[in-house]
Amino acid sequence: MMSTESQPLGRYVLRADFEEIQKKRGDFRPASRIYAHYELERRLAERLRLSQPAERSAVYSEVYAELFRSLPDHPQHTAARTEEQQVGVELNYIRPLLSRDAVMLEIGCGDARLSFSVAPMVKLAYGLDVTDAVIKCELAPANFQFIKTGGINIDLPDNTVDIAYSNQLMEHLHPDDAENQLKEVARILKPGGEYWCRTPNRVTGPHDISCYFDRVATGFHLREYDYGSIHALFLRAGFRSLRFYVIRGERKIRLPYWLARTAEWALQRSARLARVRQLRRLMDLNVVGTK
């Protein structure tokens, strides 16, 4: 079998550990399809990075719609069983934060499966994203509402939402937009409301399609964060307190900020530690900000 690095796929070269990364991600598309995904996403991401603030709202919607339209084998289209299992796990994480009279907002809802599952447990469930291209709207519960965003704005009144949640969203925002979007989240939260933000750690990245080719994210992960940068960003956006958690299986364990920073520092300085899969997973950022 020809080695992955020598396959004549085009101008970009697969990393030597391509097959190992594939196994970790559970993505078994042929190398040619992963290359096609990478080439398209990298081109669209560059368009988004270079976009001007006035046009960025439209560009967010356009590039994501084009990606999903052009890639029928994109994992979000094909990994239904895995996604259903993941929704169950996420539901267990956030269930303690929910109540029958709560209003919940999922930011970057994707196919909205989590929002659909949350809806019976709350008064109202909102799903926010730049496109509804992968949402099966005909299956939506009566108390679910999709809100389209240009990447920053959240079309809701002040002090509306009890709990906001995002999983793999912050890294998709243009670096110039991230703080303003967080300020929008703080605005729509009720006093004492909480935003649980889950995002991959820059130190163990990249975590988008560019992981097969690059050492730094070049796809739709426009910026990946570490503990220090996410901590500073939340405080600047107006959150009065932060909690950090480690996810282990279906449990979440409170993690002191100083310990998180120390672990991150050690991981960056040890190539051996950085290869330990369990440690990489533990380093994912799970931030709960309180308004």
pLDDT single digits (tens) 102-117: 999 999 998 999 999 9
Residue 143's pLDDT is 97
Average pLDDT of the residues in 65-94: 79
**pLDDT band (50, 70, 90) for residue 77:** low
Between residues 280 and 141, the one the model is more confident about: 141
pLDDT single digits (tens) 48-57: 999 999 899 8
Token representation of residue 261: 């920073």
**pLDDT band (50, 70, 90) for residue 249:** confident
pLDDT single digits (tens) 121-162: 999 999 999 888 888 888 899 999 999 988 789 999 999 999
Between residues 144 and 82, the one the model is more confident about: 144
**pLDDT band (50, 70, 90) for residue 82:** low
Domain covering 79-290 in this structure, CATH number: 3.40.50.150
| DSSP β-ladder status, 241-248 and 285-290 | antiparallel
Sketch the domain layout of the chain as residue ranges.
4-70, 79-290
pLDDT single digits (tens) 182-227: 999 999 999 999 999 999 999 888 999 999 999 899 999 999 999 9
Phi, psi angles (nearest 5°) of residue 52: -85, 150
**pLDDT band (50, 70, 90) for residue 274:** low
- Answer whether residue 21 shows pLDDT above 90: no
- Global pTM reads 0.85
